[in-house]
Amino acid sequence: MTNLIQEKVQQAVAVLQEQNIDLWITFVRETRAGGDPMLPLLFGTDLTWPSALLISKNGERIAIVGHYEADTAQNTQAFSQVIDYHTSVREVLKDSVARLDPQRIAINTSKNDTFADGLTHGMYQLLREYLGEPYAERLTSAEAIVSAVRGRKTAEELRRIRKAVHSAEEIYADTFDFVQVGQTEREIAAFMQAQTQARGLELAWEALACPAVNSGPDSPVGHAAPTDIRVEPGHILHFDFGVMEEEYCSDIQRVMYLLRPGESQAPEPVQRGFETIMKSVQAAMKAIKPGALGHQVDAAARTTVTDAGYPEYMYGTGHHMGRSVHDGAGMLGPLWEKYGEMPNVPLEVGHVYTIEPGLAVEGYGYIGIEEDIVVTQTGAEFLSTPQTELILKG
Amino acid sequence: MTNLIQEKVQQAVAVLQEQNIDLWITFVRETRAGGDPMLPLLFGTDLTWPSALLISKNGERIAIVGHYEADTAQNTQAFSQVIDYHTSVREVLKDSVARLDPQRIAINTSKNDTFADGLTHGMYQLLREYLGEPYAERLTSAEAIVSAVRGRKTAEELRRIRKAVHSAEEIYADTFDFVQVGQTEREIAAFMQAQTQARGLELAWEALACPAVNSGPDSPVGHAAPTDIRVEPGHILHFDFGVMEEEYCSDIQRVMYLLRPGESQAPEPVQRGFETIMKSVQAAMKAIKPGALGHQVDAAARTTVTDAGYPEYMYGTGHHMGRSVHDGAGMLGPLWEKYGEMPNVPLEVGHVYTIEPGLAVEGYGYIGIEEDIVVTQTGAEFLSTPQTELILKG
């Protein structure tokens, strides 16, 4: 049976052929301290000493690693050759590259996208020094390779993501039962974290803000920690939560409304806000198809909100999701400078995105729905079960 | 009470004054995917959108972050100013730098040390673009700043490291009781991991190889996973293990010998190997003092082993330990190319290092002892309780 590392490394060879790049070098060291976002996909564990993963268009897959990590490299079963060294990676790296004699060498550097930008500036300088002429002048960005390898999910990756989505939804169901007027945001967050732990899962992002829980109009929305604000009747209660299961993530937002005495449904402004966001999600879904650009999908969702008279949300409509909860390269976002060229990356079959528009309802709180979807031949399919009704609690 | 982030950011201001650097910029984005190794010390949590932490010689500490992370930045209580933005960090960053008008700007780039090399090549290019002239030409490496800020442990950091060392030693004590002939390396590793979890602690490095467990002469030594090799009489049993407690690490190696029928002590070659490594640790301890260079300490330990007739170990004698188990910048290592300039960084009071020489005893297994130490005014002090006798088990 092929393991996931083998699958992704083989996929990379096909992508190099498609893009006509001769060689892709992932060059890392001491990855425990930070590391290249591609390493989990191409190697699966950390590397200590300067190490180079060489994947070539002709199918060679070479891991050059420090001596004490040669066994680990062999154990991945993903590399056709493992070369180890004792005191310097320079010569073995140079020799391997000279033998392959590539015309174009992709490296993990990108002004646009973190996931294609794992090479540090110091390591970039070292790599140029080590390669020397003529290879140092043949370097190009691996952005499009990274986009394809991370973005095009294999069947196994999709299976894992579906599992992570399903688990998050189960924890949400338990949480909707658990929630009571009088609880603090912090207490609700602790419940969800305990449920995650009880299932042997990890949170999809840092515990400080996973989940985010926002009750009522005064709760700070964003990547902030839950507060001691208490759930009260008349509050919109908003959640942002995901788990990591078998190393893959889910990321889902849900909203409840806490009925006031005498209410049997949410007041009109709350209901209208909810329906606007629901329609915004649907508009994004309709715009998604292979070849569409991220900013086109973003615009579809965004204008649904602004056309309904609400202010524009000041973040992108959605992001890749996979090994990392915010994955890359590319996104469903507007052409704002902070997003670089990411919103211009075309959507492809097998891409997994979140769709997460949002708006505030004055006096009640924040409404954000976030669904997880996969791009298909004909459009898009929900991975999460979309929220189509406000969850009400008395 | 000052929190640890406040403590380290304040310490950074003092270091800038000492080194006469006007401004230090840590420039990051999507740090969940990798991130700058300085961020945990200077900010404490992840940042999503392009963000700049500016620390100036005159004491200004400015966090420029995306709008939805402004609260998180405020909550650190470490910054004198928090500036947030919606669509691009460019103008706010440029304005702040222009106002401070620094002559020398340190950035996290280093060919030598991972911990001072958190700036990716793509972010380096963006930063230069954003700063423009004249500031883009005033950039310099923050290597010496990172070395001081990471290396000089505060009282609170030392307290946490001592705790992590103590917990690892307790787990070791339980493990020595637990070990029996016939167990596999994997079973012993699972026991140590379960003990770690039961105490609510994390492993100091990835679970695959924490602990490393090597029984007998055929076990692959290095950063490899424990195997199904069984503990047998006549084996040296070697461990490499550490925990992370309150975000700080320990890293300790220990050795046992499994007595054969009729033996009441280890055979001469095993005993001699053990004593050589013990002396090698002592030689390193004697060489450690403020101002000594890493490669001098390395040579003291290394020659003790080679003078006794054993082959030289092909790794550095020791590394910084702290927030990361392999911390930086600097190390106790030989002047090999893979270590760059790291072995030339002078030792300072408050640096915490491992000392971990090793050798193989033919037919018996691998002997490695690893102690954790802190540099003092007059020399060095053990943080771990040094192993001075082989642990024997019948």
Are B287 and B353 in contact by the 8 Å Cβ rule? The answer is no
Q: Over range B96-125, report the average pLDDT.
A: 96
Phi, psi of A83 (to 5 degrees): -115, 130
Q: Do A110 and B122 touch (CB under 8 A)?
A: yes
Q: Over range B349-357, report the average pLDDT.
A: 97
Separation in Å, CA of B86 to nearest CA in chain A: 6
pLDDT at B1: 59
User: For chain B, what percentages of helix, strand and coil (3-state, to nearest 5) are there?
Assistant: 40, 25, 40
Answer whether A99 touches B (CB < 8 Å). Answer: no
Residues composing chain B: 394
Kindly report, residue by residue over A344-354, the tens digit of the pLDDT.
999 999 999 99
- Upper half-sphere CA count for residue B313 (Cβ side, 13 Å): 31
Query: A327 contacts in B (CB within 8 Å)?
Result: 33
**DSSP string for residues in B304-362:** HHHHTTPPPPSS-SEEE-SSSSSEEEEEE----GGGTTGGGSBP-TT-EEEE--EEEET
Residue B20: which region, alpha, beta or left (left: phi > 0; alpha: psi -120 to 50)? left
Q: Give the neighbor-by-neighbor strand order of the sheet with A352-355.
A: A327-332, A318-320, A352-355, A371-375, A380-382
Separation in Å, CA of B8 to nearest CA in chain A: 18
pLDDT at A324: 92
Answer whether A90 touches B (CB < 8 Å). Answer: yes
Residue of B113, B117, B240, B247 best to disrupt the A interface, most CBs of A under 10 A: B117
Kindly report, residue by residue over A69-124, the tens digit of the pLDDT.
999 999 999 999 999 999 899 999 999 999 999 999 999 999 988 999 999 999 99
Question: Residue written as tokens 């007595």?
Answer: B259
Counting residues of chain B whose pLDDT is more than 70, the rounded percentage is: 99
Kindly report, residue by residue over B285-314, the tens digit of the pLDDT.
999 999 999 999 999 999 999 999 999 999
Distance between CA A66 and CA A20 in Å, rounded?
30
CATH classification number, B152-393, choose in 3.30.450.40, 3.90.230.10, 3.30.700.30, 3.40.50.1370? 3.90.230.10
Q: pTM for the complete prediction?
A: 0.88
Residue B330 has pLDDT above 90, yes or no: no
Residue A32 has pLDDT above 90, yes or no: no
Query: A88 contacts in B (CB within 8 Å)?
Result: 336-338
Q: What is the ipTM of this complex?
A: 0.86
Q: Do B121 and A126 touch (CB under 8 A)?
A: no
Separation in Å, CA of A107 to nearest CA in chain B: 10
Are A188 and A213 in contact by the 8 Å Cβ rule? The answer is yes
Residue B364 has pLDDT above 80, yes or no: yes
- Domain B4-150: which topology? Creatine Amidinohydrolase; Chain A, domain 1 (3.40.350)
Spatial neighbors of A171 by CB under 8 A, at least 6 apart, are A192, A195, A196, A199, A241, A243
Longest C-alpha distance within chain B, in Å?
A: 79
User: What are the sequence ranges of the domains in chain A?
Assistant: 4-150, 152-393
Question: Residue written as tokens 């009441």?
Answer: B264
Q: Do B37 and A34 touch (CB under 8 A)?
A: yes
- How confident is the prediction for chain B on average, in pLDDT? 96
Instruction: List C-alpha distances in Å: A65 to A101, A329, B227, B236.
Output: 20, 27, 21, 27
pLDDT at A1: 59
Spatial neighbors of B158 by CB under 8 A, at least 6 apart, are B350, B352, B374
Residue B389 has pLDDT above 80, yes or no: yes
Query: Which of B34, B46, B119 lies at the smallest CB-CB distance from A37?
Result: B34
Query: B113 contacts in A (CB within 8 Å)?
Result: 122
